[in-house]
Amino acid sequence: MSREEMDALAKERLVGIARTWYDQMRDGIVPFIRLPTRTKRNIEYDDASEVWKYGERESTRAATNEKGAVHLLKMAYLIGFLKQQLVENRSSTLRELYYISEGWKKAKFGAQDESNHLIEDLEIITEVQREAFHLRPEEDGASVFGPLRIRETTRRGVKEMHCQEDVGEAGYPIPNNVDNLEFVDHDAKFVIAIETGGMYARLMENGFDEEYGAVLVHLKGQPARSTRRVLRKLNDSLGLPVVVFTDGDPWSYRIYASVAYGSIKSAHMSELLATPQAQFIGVQPSDISDYNLPADHLTEQDVSALKAELTDPRFATDYWRSQINLQLEMKLKSEQQAFASRGLDFVTKEYLPTRLSEMGII
């Protein structure tokens, strides 16, 4: 679909929400919308797409009281702004949108989270992603380094580059809109998504990408949507296996879950964002004892998060139950960089090759 066609579709679906409210009022019905509840109790595994999506539980937001009326008022102002933005072929960040609402009087957003949440509501109702509204996040996507040639369409034309030969040590920065990105060719065997910048730089310095034909993707912590879309695209269009390498703590396991299963917050976008075939390398709780890694004691928050993951359907596998229960028993967590205690080359010469071989990647 061309940009012009996508703009027209986004505008039509936004206006369609207002048209529905008009029809409701014309028929004597108090305006309302229905949306799925966004909790882990309302995500279900879809066999066809192999991702987690929202279930059938819904909540209704109606103008039957002041709170509901103000909510719909804010959504109406937001729809009007986005429609005009599309007409003028402009764009804005999520943060700019929050400040733009300062002039909307009673429709002004009380916090950034409120405006973000409303954008997600519009994505669910329209079945169109926020990039089609010409909205972009404040943070950028992360970066890619490896044997991959890409072509990107920008406002200044088309550029093509090799993600080893034509980029600096930071790698190729992933654009916000991945629809403008095309993979031209590659010599890669797999993709490794890495949580921390330190480990990303370590694999690059040690030549891991060249030795094993690996595309390195720096996640920058909890990955941006654009980063997750690139991982999905590398897996789908090039058929490359994707593995995820994070710290060994409950918050990092959720990074893996957002890549492989989709996040609860954006379950309506799971088919675009999640890579169901992505596998977890580590750091595993069992690695802490197997490799005698330096470790820290779990905090109360860590323990609570691990116990919550035991009730999260995305972690309802024998592997994750055994690893999480082992960590609760050990009461320890460790970081990727802890492998440096065994030498700067250990992670690329010993640990990763061993794990990748066990997983059937190499």
By annotation, the residues acting in catalysis are 99
Cα separation, 201 vs 207, in Å, equals 10
Alpha helices in the chain (DSSP H): 3-26, 66-87, 94-100, 112-126, 197-205, 208-212, 225-238, 250-260, 270-273, 285-290, 300-310, 318-330, 346, 352-358
CA 356/CA 350 separation, integer angstroms: 10
Cβ 137 vs Cβ 224: under 8 Å: yes
Place of tokens 């997750």: 228
What whole-number distance in Å separates Cα of residue 357 and Cα of residue 261?
A: 23
Q: Compute the distance between CA of residue 165 and CA of residue 172 in angstroms, rounded to an integer.
A: 10
Spatial strand order in the sheet of 279-282? 172-173, 143-145, 214-218, 190-194, 242-245, 279-282
Both structure tokens of 259: 């890549």
Could you count the other beta carbons within 10 Å of the beta carbon of residue 237? 10
Residue 104 vs residues 11, 97, 109, 158, 219: alpha-carbon distances, Å: 21, 11, 9, 38, 36
Residues linked to residue 135 through DSSP beta bridges, in sequence order: 92
Q: At 62, which helix (H) or strand (E)?
A: strand 58-62
